[in-house]
Amino acid sequence: MKKSEPNLNTTAKLWILHILVYYFVFACLHVFIIRYYSGSIICKESLNIILLSPIIGLMGFFDLFPGFIVIPIIVMLLILSHIYIGEIYKSYLVSILLVRIVHYIVAASTGASKYPFLSSQIKVNILFLIFPSLVAALLVNWYLLGKHEKSTLFKMYYDKE
């Protein structure tokens, strides 16, 4: 394998970190909204939801689609192998944004753009939960993994020297 080719280890780190951060922030927002409207303080159930958030997210309860996380991974691998060859973070960024936009458009067209909270009658627009979670996951991944990848603007500068 050439040095410019991405390795499986970096891709796995990227997605594990994404799952941990994205679903943790999603679960925190979920608990905060339920507790805000119910007027109660954080309880054992809330802590269980937050601590088990990656497992709950992988099972599809947060995305309302079982195994949803597999779709962006497949899209990222396709983009990585055909469009942004060797640029893991850029492929990750494009795949996440593309899949989440399509997910929201499909949810809005079917009338499922309101996220139902299981233990109450509260329904919130799903963007209120997805956007902060996505921003947190993208920033953490960029800080830990993506900032080391040279962007195309900097590649032109480095190639001149």
The domain spans of the chain are 8-160
Q: Rounded CA gap, 61 and 73, in Å? A: 18
User: pTM of the predicted model, to two decimals?
Assistant: 0.76
Q: What is the DSSP letter of 120?
A: S
8 Å CB contact between 42 and 153: no
Lookup: tokens for 15: 């997605």
Per-residue model confidence as pLDDT tens for the chain (161 residues): 444 455 667 788 888 888 899 989 988 888 888 777 777 766 777 788 888 888 888 887 777 777 788 888 888 888 888 887 778 888 888 888 898 888 888 888 887 777 766 556 777 777 888 888 889 988 888 888 766 665 544 444 444 44
8 Å CB contact between 21 and 137: yes
- Closest alpha carbon to 16 in 66, 58, 49: 58
Considering only CA atoms, give the Rg of the chain. 18
Evaluate the CA torsion angle 111, 114, 116, 120 in order and state its sign. Answer: negative
- Closest alpha carbon to 134 in 160, 99, 161: 99
- Closest alpha carbon to 117 in 36, 19, 21, 25: 36
Lookup: tokens for 158: 């480095």
Is 101 strand, coil or helix? helix
Lookup: tokens for 18: 């994404």
